[in-house]
């Protein structure tokens, strides 16, 4: 029993954890400089995950612009987020009033009455290219960056990087990594797949509309 537990721990820390933290990303993407990296130059933990999307950056970007608990959600496992009362509702369409996102705006992670401090600040935004969010606390302890890398005219790499600073207490740091890493992997994986599905549907809709000879227009 003890030997089995020790083997699992060894496999997790040497193989599984690294796979989770870099799911879908190439070695060059894992080591590349992201917008926002300079905001937390020496993180205690970092993950870089990625997915190919059969859509152009302009079909992916609107989904990122409407991230937030009180907006389009996070496109991940809504049921899991709501188990802890976050009150997330993932949108399946682009909503015009949620597209107005600028530097200095907040992205809410949970409902305001239960989690008043659960917000991130928009610190950098480059339309159809990148979005950087950070925890408003000083010093910064979390930076969340999204990058759209066009592969060709119809394919985009969506990359998500999370950089975190943990408390100095060794026990808390170990416990945080043991719990946060798997949870972050599951929810980020769900988000990537959720955005992939929605963006590809939007791209197909635009293509079908154009092919039919009807003028293209933004989804409402």
CATH number at residue 132: 3.30.530.20
Kindly indicate the confidence band of residue 214, based on its pLDDT and cuts at 50, 70 and 90.
Answer: very low
Strands (E), the chain: 45-53, 106-108, 119-126, 130-134, 142-152, 155-164
- Greater confidence, 17 or 82? 82
pLDDT digits (tens, 9 = 90+) for 2-57: 555 555 455 555 668 889 999 999 999 999 999 999 999 999 989 999 999 999 99
Enumerate helices (H) and strands (E) in the chain, giving the number of each. 6, 6
Is 87 within a domain? Answer: no
Tell which residue, 125, 160, 122, 162, has the closest CA to residue 141.
162
Is 69 within a domain? Answer: no
Is 145 within a domain? Answer: yes
Q: Domain total for the chain?
A: 1
Q: Which domain, by its residues, includes 27?
A: 15-61+102-211
- Kindly tell me if the per-residue pLDDT of 220 is higher than 50: no
CA-to-CA distance for 214 and 220, rounded, in angstroms? 16
Q: Which helix (H) or strand (E) holds 179?
A: helix 170-211
**Count of Cβ atoms closer than 10 Å to residue 193 Cβ:** 14
Is 157 within a domain? Answer: yes
Enter the pTM of the model.
0.88
Is 67 within a domain? Answer: no
- Kindly tell me if the per-residue pLDDT of 209 is higher than 80: no
Is 70 within a domain? Answer: no
Is 91 within a domain? Answer: no
- Kindly tell me if the per-residue pLDDT of 212 is higher than 60: no
pLDDT digits (tens, 9 = 90+) for 121-161: 999 999 999 999 999 988 889 999 999 999 999 999 999 99
Is 127 within a domain? Answer: yes
């Amino acid at each position: 029993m003890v030997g089995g537990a020790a083997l699992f721990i060894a496999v997790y820390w040497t193989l599984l954890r690294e796979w989770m933290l870099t799911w879908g990303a190439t070695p060059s993407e894992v080591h590349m400089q992201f917008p926002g990296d300079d905001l937390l130059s020496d993180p205690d933990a970092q993950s870089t995950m990625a997915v190919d999307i059969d859509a152009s950056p302009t079909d992916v970007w609107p989904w990122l612009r409407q991230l937030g608990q009180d907006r389009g959600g996070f496109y991940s496992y809504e049921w899991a987020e709501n188990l802890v009362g976050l009150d997330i509702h993932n949108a399946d369409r682009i909503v015009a009033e949620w597209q107005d996102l600028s530097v200095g705006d907040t992205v809410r992670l949970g409902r305001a009455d239960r989690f008043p401090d659960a917000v991130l600040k928009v610190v950098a935004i480059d339309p159809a290219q990148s979005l950087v969010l950070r925890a408003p606390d000083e010093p910064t302890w979390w930076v969340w960056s999204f990058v759209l890398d066009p592969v060709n005219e119809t394919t985009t790499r969506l990359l998500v990087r999370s950089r975190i600073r943990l408390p100095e207490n060794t026990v808390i740091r170990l416990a945080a990594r043991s719990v946060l890493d798997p949870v972050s992997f599951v929810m980020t994986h769900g988000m990537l797949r959720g955005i992939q599905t929605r963006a590809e549907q939007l791209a197909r809709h635009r293509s079908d509309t154009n092919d039919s000879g009807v003028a293209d227009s933004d989804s409402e």
